[in-house]
Structure 1
Amino acid sequence: MNFAIYRELLRIVPVRRLLLVGMIARFPHSAAGVLLTLHVVQTLERGYAEAGAVAAVMTIGIAVGAPWRGRRVDLAGLRRALIPSVIAEALIWSIAPHLPYEWLLLAALVGGIFTLPVFSVVRQSLGVLVSGESRRTAFTLDAVSTEVIFMGGPALGAVLATQVSTVLGLTVVGLSTAVAGLFLMWFNPPTRSSQPGAVAGSPSAADDDEAAVEAMVASAPARVFEASAELVPGARPARGVGARARVAHSFGWLTLPVGVVMVVAAGAGLVLAGTDVGIIAVLEDNNRAFELGWVFLAWCAASVVGGLVYGAMHRPVSPLVLLLLMSVLTIPMGFADSTFALALLSLAPGLLCAPVLSAASEKIAHLVEEDRRGEAMGWYGSALTSGVALGAPLAGLLIDSVGPWGGFVAVGGAAASLSLLCLAAQQVRRRRGRRVS
């Protein structure tokens, strides 16, 4: 391990500034979940189920909007792509707190679609600002900074909601995010290696060959159809062929290895959201909900430590292996009988939270060419968000059926099974590849 690489990386001014902007931009939204839930329950005097519906609708909006926002960054450039998000963040979250519940659902959906794409922009820019082992460290620092934000953001949101006003809190979230978006536009970090400020080195020859083969295979249908039309004068593609060719070309970056990373993202979101709900359920069952902060502090602090260790490693670890370990280690949390035991049991899976997300982001940056990387990062964010949207209801269903321990078993078992299936499929694919060669 080489911990000095952190010091070397943070000496790069654009990298340091980008990580700082990413933290500032994420902080308001880290408090938004708590504020939105308490706004529905306290201010609108609705139930927790209806509060969950608002969160689910916003999650769907984020999942739908992330790929589109990422693609706009690829096509129009960062500054032009962020303009709709900056306007929407300031406008929607200034109006939404004053709306009745039914209209709040619509506002949450639109707000989710136009959410400032901080995650994809930061990861995409880091992919061209650094290269080699430094790229893994940069992604790890970003994941660690996110964990630090989520140590304080929800707590601040709860204070604003209970001591001041949920209306003011949500308005502050929107305006603060818009200001962060303006700062990001002013900073304008590079998202491609051809832009000023990008210092990422060229990949190795082996990487070039691998990327070329993957790109050729992925885009083969489109090339074949185009070639047939050119070589045979007057020939027309069969009905539906042109549409299939366009779709194949649009998603040419979505190779099997990239698909596996998307599965990892969904599995990680599943575990994290389910663990979040499970922690609350265990503490409420023991009448210790007021000690929630201690468990979250232990869980997030462990993730910070794990991320720093992973970022200093010389060799990457498969994100599937990391997800499998995190999933299995999450299950014992359901058998905690005290706040101390729950905090202690959260340390082991917590150590793997940031490494899972860092390893997955590194894979995306390695496998997808930079002219489509923004879109890929957007889909990666959607996969993570989809896992989050599924994890909370799945955990809640088992908690209501069998007790608080069921939530941890449900999400841990589901994500572990998903990891094992993908690992088995990879082994089968490798064996077939050896037989063919």
Structure 2
Amino acid sequence: MLTVLLLPGALRSFLPALLARSALAMGSLALLLTVQDQTGSYAQAGLAIAVFGTANVVAAPWRARAVDRFGQRVALTALSAGHTAGFAGLALLTHAEDVAATWYLVLSLAIGLTAPPLGAAMRRIWASLTEPGDQRTKAFSIDAVCEELLFVAGPVVVTAVITASSSATGLWMTAGAVLLGTTAMTSSPSSKVLRGSRTTAQRGERPLRQPGFARILLALLGVGAVLGVAEIAAPAVAARHGAVEASGWLLAAFAGGSAIGGLVYGQLKLKAGIGARLFVLCVSMGVTAMVVSRLDTLVLFAAGLALVGLFLAPSLVTGYLVADTIVAESSQTEASTWINTSVNLGASLASAAAGVVIDRSGAALALLLVGVLAVALATAVPRTCARTAEPAPAAQDNQAELVP
């Protein structure tokens, strides 16, 4: 699978993209720790994270649409500049006195609105460098695995930096990573050639107007819901066993399972259509979550979370393949972003609900319910899909790829 990294221009784009995406893995925690430290209030810090997260989700399709229209170099450079300015402004606030809490919310809003869609942009580059089919699946898989590893290591790194020095240092490091990484990525030849359409995509080319695409997003809501509940259930189970320090290891097991799943998935040569694959993956993830809800010891629970995680990265990769297959080239960055948005939305909603369920009835019931939900939402996947992931040349050709 690593052979895709040897394709001409691949590493020149991928390595700086990873540096820039590491900022996204560190940013939310750096924001949380900074606001809590400056205000002395977890409530204020939580509000800042909520503002950041909501702005990020709401603006995501429009940011991606800007990349498709104006090209990666113009749109990503502008967004990364705004994102960097937000973190830099927050770092400067840490040295000021008597700062109104409103300013933290304003900067959180700015950071969320300007978060560049680096993952979707890199997948667009992968699509331009690879042939449809197994080669592209391998590229998307290695991309998903590396992203998983970033979100494991990023919070650990930024916490260590902030603990050893200051909140400002962590924020400056995050700002530097997104600015340098994005600049280096967009200056690569593979990114430069993606100049955008310069015109607004036709209404019929929009991802949500493609037959079956909204149903794919609905199924991926279930995947995100399992992810959100797992992130809440892990510390809850660790606390119930009197081992709060094991929370990190439980979440690492989940992320590690996802990374392994992505690596294995990239090596497989599957003949089934991408819709059938997504259906099986979503159902498997839901059923596994139901089984894990019955596991009681920490060791077994960790192993169970790893098994649940096995289906996360492959589900995302398959979703990206759907986006690459059925959406016109002029809207593919937006389509890939909708995949992420669906999973993130499912995770956010499920996290909120899981907290209430866990407080009242425990983590087992939360996992059981979300497993049932994931299986139910998986039935939304269209039954007939293209058997190979070949990009559609135009929107009017897409209707043959997915049949509702």
TM-score range for the pair, normalised by the shorter chain length: 0.7 to 0.9
Match among 82, 92, 111 for residue 88 of structure 1: 82
Deviates further, 314-323 or 148-157: 314-323
Matches within 5 A, 1:176-215: 176-190=177-191
Is 1:164 the counterpart of 2:165? The answer is yes
Give the partner amino acid of 1:126. W
The structural deviation recorded for 1:333 is: 3.4
The structural deviation recorded for 1:289 is: 1.7
Structure with greater Cα Rg: 1
Match among 5, 12, 34 for residue 10 of structure 1: 5
Aligned-partner Cα distance in 2 for 1:249–1:368: 10
Aligned-partner Cα distance in 1 for 2:169–2:317: 34
Query: What corresponds to 1:302 in structure 2?
Result: 257
Aligned-partner Cα distance in 1 for 2:207–2:316: 23
Query: What corresponds to 1:215 in structure 2?
Result: none
Is 1:108 the counterpart of 2:63? The answer is no
Deviates further, 355-364 or 280-289: 280-289
Query: What corresponds to 1:258 in structure 2?
Result: 213
TM-score by length of 2: 0.83
Query: What corresponds to 1:134 in structure 2?
Result: 135
The count of corresponding residues between Structure 1 and Structure 2 is 370
- Deviation track 1:150-186 (CA, whole Å, cap 9, x = no partner) reads 2211111222333322232123212221111111221
Decide whether the 8 Å contact of 2:229 with 2:351 is kept in 1: yes
Give the partner amino acid of 2:260. V
Aligned-partner Cα distance in 2 for 1:291–1:319: 32
Query: What corresponds to 1:29 in structure 2?
Result: 24
Query: What corresponds to 1:217 in structure 2?
Result: none
Query: What corresponds to 1:69 in structure 2?
Result: 63
The structural deviation recorded for 1:194 is: 9.5
Helix, strand or coil: the match of 1:141?
A: helix
Match among 268, 271, 291 for residue 223 of structure 2: 268
Deviates further, 275-284 or 26-35: 26-35
Helix, strand or coil: the match of 1:318?
A: helix
The structural deviation recorded for 1:426 is: 4.1
Query: What corresponds to 1:383 in structure 2?
Result: 342
Over the aligned positions, Cα root-mean-square deviation in angstroms equals 2.6
Aligned-partner Cα distance in 2 for 1:389–1:380: 14
Decide whether the 8 Å contact of 2:223 with 2:282 is kept in 1: yes
Aligned-partner Cα distance in 1 for 2:351–2:248: 19
Identity of aligned residues (%): 24
Match among 53, 60, 69 for residue 59 of structure 1: 53
Decide whether the 8 Å contact of 1:368 with 1:376 is kept in 2: yes
The structural deviation recorded for 1:335 is: 4.0
Aligned-partner Cα distance in 1 for 2:55–2:347: 13
Distance 1:311-1:169 versus aligned 2 partners, 3 A rule: same
Aligned-partner Cα distance in 2 for 1:353–1:43: 36
The structural deviation recorded for 1:349 is: 0.8
The structural deviation recorded for 1:417 is: 1.8
Query: What corresponds to 1:286 in structure 2?
Result: 241
Distance 1:392-1:51 versus aligned 2 partners, 3 A rule: farther
Helix, strand or coil: the match of 1:13?
A: coil
- Deviation track 1:227-250 (CA, whole Å, cap 9, x = no partner) reads xxxxxxxxxxxxxxxxxxx98446
The structural deviation recorded for 1:392 is: 1.4
The structural deviation recorded for 1:407 is: 3.0
Query: What corresponds to 1:151 in structure 2?
Result: 152
Give the partner amino acid of 1:93. F
- Deviation track 1:24-79 (CA, whole Å, cap 9, x = no partner) reads 122122122332333333442113x5433322221221112221121112211111
Give the partner amino acid of 1:83. T
The structural deviation recorded for 1:113 is: 1.3
